[in-house]
A and B are shown apart, each in its own frame.
Chain A
Amino acid sequence: MTVLTGILIGLATGIVFGFVLEKSRVFEPGIIVGQMQLRSFIMLKVFLAAVITGLLALAVMHGAFGVKLSLKPLVWQADIIGGLVLGAGIALAGACPGTSLAQIGAGYRDAWFVVLGGIAGAVFYGYFDASITAYFAEKGAKVTFAELAGYPFWMVSTGLAVVLAGALVVLERMVPWRHEVGANVDGVLPADATPDHEPTPGATRRA
């Protein structure tokens, strides 16, 4: 494939991705910090809905048509230490690497500094990649839960999709998403009102 074709496919994919990140409000610092403080669950809802859809798409693509997976290796120390540092950065940024670009598109100015810092962090890592991977000295196998369990991929992925979908139904009953977006759709809720202290449905109807 030519680089130009890749860029055109990437732009089309990214525009749809960015459009729905903005529509779902999941790119909002208020939603991401709110998720980390368990005051809002919109990030988890978007995340799990995307995972469930991906699980079902791959159950068909990989399970039935043999489309090759694109797995990352299990490297315990790197996954845990890297994940912790990444999470700390996400909380401080109120963004993840992808949503920081959505914040720029939507107009948040501080997101430009997140992206600049991100480029600096990626370059810093690049210079030390050889020493960091040598320090961890992990070989890392590309392993799935289906292989661990000894069942076919499609069976485990479909089963997990059903379980996660059930969890989302319960979560949405407990915390309806319309109560979490906030009046200015930025996830900033009245200071005294957590989503679980919203008026009851009856009270909303009277108002």
Chain B
Amino acid sequence: MPSLSDKAWSPYVAGVIIGLLQIPTFLLMDTALGASSSFVTVGAHLAALVDPGVGQIKYFTSHMAGAKNWWQVAVVVGIAVGAFLSMQLSGARRAAVSGIWARATGATSLGTRAPVAFLAGFLMLLGARIAGGCTSGHGISGMAQLSVGSTVAVVAMFAGGMLVANLFFKRV
């Protein structure tokens, strides 16, 4: 049996638990699991502090209020809390930067990683908002609903990831 203090669980146990989270999400929230639109909710509120014009843009206003938008912000905050708890219970503490970056790109410090990480996050959310979802919304949720559009997006996502990881990174 997996224990809460284990450092690693079977990917199948974890995947089944993630899949089961769809049940309360559909029944209580009338939606599917997702992560990327929460970045719009938070970003729109931050942008509104400096730009009063945000209130005139429908894409922003549709993400700024209501239980569903704040539910998703709470989900991603909860993800950080859950990962923190799991790490505390197992003692699998992490360095500032994963050792994989030294191999893949030669980046060994936070200073060399940070600009790439910022650009990566920017591209990730720009792409996710163009496509209308990410690994959670299009991937885990869209494919579980047999969505044709989500399957197209997931294939493109893995294609984009494989291209960059093989063209620009050394073999990890």
Contacts and interface: CB of A to CB of B under 8 A. Distances in A.
B169 to A, nearest CB: 7
Contacts of B25: 13
A61 B21 CA distance: 13
Nearest to A76: B152
Nearest to B36: A97
Contact of A51 (B42, B98, B99, B140): B140
A102 B83 CA distance: 5
B67 to A, nearest CB: 3
Nearest to A43: B11
A188 B27 CA distance: 39
Contacts of B72: 10
Contacts of A7: 67, 70-71, 73-74
Contact of A23 (B6, B147, B162): B6
Contacts of A34: 100, 172
Interface string A29-46: 110011111110010011
Nearest to B25: A13
The secondary structure that dominates the B interface is helix
B87 A89 contact: no
Interface residues of A, number: 136
Interface in B93-152: 93-101, 103-104, 110, 113-152
Nearest to B101: A29
Nearest to A39: B172
29 contacts: A20-B13, A23-B9, A24-B15, A36-B164, A53-B22, A54-B22, A72-B137, A81-B127, A83-B155, A85-B127, A87-B160, A91-B162, A91-B165, A94-B98, A97-B76, A103-B83, A104-B83, A107-B95, A109-B97, A114-B117, A114-B121, A117-B117, A118-B121, A121-B129, A124-B122, A126-B57, A130-B58, A140-B149, A172-B12
* Nearest 4 A/B pairs, CB to CB: A14-B78, A49-B15, A53-B19, A87-B160
